Amino acid sequence: MDLKQLYQDIILEHGKSPRNFGKCEGYNHDAKGYNPLCGDKVHVYLKLNSGKKVEGLTFEGEGCAISLASASIMTELVKGKSFDETRDIMNAFLNMIKNTSEIRSNHLDEDQKTKLMSLSGVKQFPMRVKCATLSWHTLISAMEGKKEEINTETID
Amino acid sequence: MNIENIKSQFPIFSKKINGKPLVYLDSSNSSQKPMCVINRLNDFYKNEFSNIGRSIHSLAVNATNKFEETRESVKNFINANFKEEIVFTKNATEAINLVATTFGQQNIKEGDEIIITELEHHSNYVPWHFLRETRGAIIKFAPINEDGDVIIDELKKLITAKTKIIAVTHLSNVTGTIVPIKEIVEIAHKKNVPVLVDGCQAVPHIKVDVTDLDCDFYAFSAHKVYGPTGVGILYAKKKWLEKLPPYIGGGAMISEVKKDKIIYAKLPEKYEAGTMPTAEVITFNESIKFMESIGIDNLMKHEKEIKNYALEKLKKINSVKIIGNPKNKAGVIAFTIKGIHPHDIATILDEDGVAIRAGHHCCQIFHEKMNLTATARASIGVYNNKDDIDMLCKAIENCRKIFDLK
């Protein structure tokens, strides 16, 4: 196991100064996520425009460096994406962490893929996978307009 | 027994974790096992195995005798009056559930009150919550102060004519607070309110004398006392066990079964239905012998020295904050580091072979009260020494370096 791979500079930096932190102006969807194992919480605010594309995306919450960085990077990567594109990116991300070790999605450019790959170190730390995936599941929940809170103990 | 060399009795410490020697600071969660305990479990399965109870063959007689010997040892270890007051369960959680369920059935009506404290582990809250759901009981929380001490005067004020039971921890698994049980029992008994004590964290680390405490119920787990998993112990005053209904029904807990009536077994079998963790209960006797061979006074002195050393060293590290400062504190140290989440601390420490716990430690009420989502926790066992604490501090420094803290 390699700590340096887990705590890459970009992760530490996003963890320390998360992007798009707070409530976004005029949001029309939101959802909460919770990891009961550690008490981490995330609240995702989403503004979908009339074309059902992500116009604004922010989050609030408390969590470890991994979960904050993952949420922060997520808010940067899915701006302008449709629901299907967002879901495709999330699946590519989950797949990378759990199986493939690479990002397979047509909706991200190489720089964006590199950014998302900074979370690949989580693969070696199974206890931390949920830290990285919580915000993504919460975003999908917000998009689907689900009311109940996302709980890491009841999702894959 | 020489406490300085005690590590050598625990085979796990010859193993490497992530290529580093193991520094185990998670004994509040569960303790490691000495060779004598591991050998006993192995020996029993190899040479003596049988179920206990009604068989007449030699192996069964031996196993039954050994099982009862553990009961006798537990009785002496916590200074209970009668062997029948010791009931074996799956764990302390089940022991508390046993009391909550059976006591609740018999004594709790809608509007009756149960007092617990803000220090409680979920296992001493959720079973009482069931009574809130099923019987309309009211749960009142005795508050703690900033130091993590239960405010006894406030607890006193909560007792009313409707108070049916007080359930309280003996030793907090977050702050290490040693709760003045004797005082609480005296206050409660003056109002005829029985007291259940969650002694999980106390039994491995301080002297426990249930007769002196005069509590009505006392629950703990074997696995935290250098014993095997799968065994919990409920001490209950005989008058309660005789009066309360049985908990789990099945074999061994009956004396006579007819189509129209069932007569339950005498104590303690009334509460031990089905096949018990026979090998583990028998093995637990070795854990008690191990504790006795060290001597509880020596053990307490040793752990106090290591705790004080740890507190002193941790306080010197910038941005480390110790959570709670109780009047009497055992070797359970919850802390935070400003700028690093406890989960990140635990992952980074683990790379250095240092095993701690991060999270809410099954005490969300406490964390909420203290405005914390999570803490890191280092908890001391008899095998820990000053080198372990030095290693902990070194690993924390490494954390700070990775996170670039000044």
B403 interfacial to chain A (CB closer than 8 Å): yes
Q: Is pLDDT at B151 greater than 80 in this prediction? A: yes
Rg of chain B on CA atoms, in Å: 22
The per-residue pLDDT for A156 is: 59
As assigned by CATH, the class of the B38-292 domain is alpha beta
- Report how far apart, in Å, the C-alpha atoms of B273 and of each of A96, B238, B242, B265 are: 49, 18, 16, 10
Q: Which of B339, B374, B402 sits opposite A3 (nearest CB)?
A: B402
CATH architecture of B3-30+295-402: Alpha-Beta Complex (3.90)
Catalytic residues of B: 362
Q: Is the pLDDT of residue B401 over 80?
A: yes
Q: Are B149 and B141 in contact (CB under 8 A)?
A: no
Does B399 contact A at CB distance below 8 Å? no
The pLDDT, as a whole number, for residue A148 is 77
Residue B195's Cα: distance from chain center in Å? 16
pLDDT tens track for B374-396: 999 999 999 999 999 999 999 99
Decide if pLDDT at B124 tops 80: yes
Residue A153 lies in a domain: no
Asked if the Cβ–Cβ distance from B339 to A64 is below 8 Å, we say no
d(CA B375, CA B360): 6
Of B18, B341, B360, the CB nearest to A64: B341
Give me the residue label for tokens 């095997």. Answer: B228
What is the pLDDT, as a whole number, of residue A101? 80
Q: What's the angle, vertex CA B304, arms to CA B300 and CA B308, rounded to 5?
A: 180
Predicted-complex ipTM score: 0.88
Distance, in Å, from the CA atom of B99 to the CA atom of B120, rounded to the nearest integer, reads: 16
Distance from CA of A42 to the nearest CA of B (A): 12
In a domain, A60, yes or no: yes
Please tell me the distance from the alpha carbon of residue B91 to that of residue B123, in angstroms, as a whole number: 10
Tokens at B39, concatenated: 């050998």
Domain with A114 in it: 3-146
Q: Give me B56's structure tokens.
A: 């007449």
Q: Which residue of B has its CA nearest to A41?
A: B373
Q: Is residue A41 part of a domain?
A: yes
B359:A39 CB<8 A: yes
A153 pLDDT above the threshold of 80: no
Question: CA–CA separation, A66 vs A42, rounded Å?
Answer: 13
Chain B residues with CB-CB distance to A12 below 8 A: 402-404
Query: In this predicted model, what pLDDT tens digit does every residue of A108-144 receive, in sequence order?
Result: 999 999 999 999 999 888 888 999 999 999 999 999 8
Out of B18, B358, B373, name the one closest to residue A62 (CB).
B373
Give B-chain residues touching A65 at CB under 8 angstroms: 340-341, 344, 403
Residue A94 lies in a domain: yes
pTM beyond 0.80: yes
Residues on chain B touching A38 (C-beta within 8 angstroms)? 342-343, 358-360, 373-374
- Per-residue pLDDT band at A2 (split at 50, 70, 90): confident
Pairing of strands B195-198, B232-236: unpaired
Averaged pLDDT of chain A: 91
The residue-averaged pLDDT of B188-202 equals 98
- Sign of the CA dihedral running B202, B208, B213, B215: positive
Report the alpha-carbon distance of residue A1 to residue B278 in Å, rounded.
Answer: 40
Mutate to test the interface with A, among B17, B336, B340, B344 (most CBs of A within 10 A): B344
> In this complex, do A12 and B403 lie within 8 Å of one another by their Cβ atoms?
yes
List A residues 19-78 in contact with B (Cβ-Cβ < 8 A): 37-41, 62-66
Query: Is residue B20 within 8 angstroms of chain A, CB to CB?
Result: no
Say how far apart CA B221 and CA B233 lie, in whole Å: 6
Cα Rg for chain A, rounded, in angstroms? Answer: 14
A17 touches chain B (CB under 8 A): no
Q: A1: pLDDT confidence band, cut at 50, 70 and 90?
A: low
Instruction: For chain B, give every domain's residue range.
Output: 3-30+295-402, 38-292
Verify whether the Cβ–Cβ distance B359 to A64 is below 8 Å. no
Q: Nearest Cβ partner of B373 from A7, A12, A40?
A: A40
The 8 Å CB, 24+ separation contacts for A53-57 are A53/A80, A53/A81, A53/A82, A54/A78, A54/A79, A54/A80, A54/A81, A54/A82, A54/A86, A55/A79, A55/A80, A56/A24, A56/A25, A56/A26, A56/A27, A57/A20, A57/A24, A57/A139
Which pLDDT value is given to residue B21? Answer: 96
| CA distances in angstroms from B304 to A113, B179, B201, B222, B384, listed in the order given | 52, 16, 15, 22, 11
Q: What is the mean pLDDT of residues B358-375?
A: 93
CATH code of the domain in which A139 resides: 3.90.1010.10
Number of domains in chain A: 1
pLDDT per position as a tens digit, B286-330 = 999 999 999 999 999 999 999 999 999 999 999 999 999 999 999
B350 → chain A, closest CA residue: A3
Tell me, what DSSP letter sits at residue A21? B
Which of A39, A65, A125 comes nearest B373 by C-beta? A39
Contact state of B340 with A65 under an 8 Å Cβ cutoff: yes
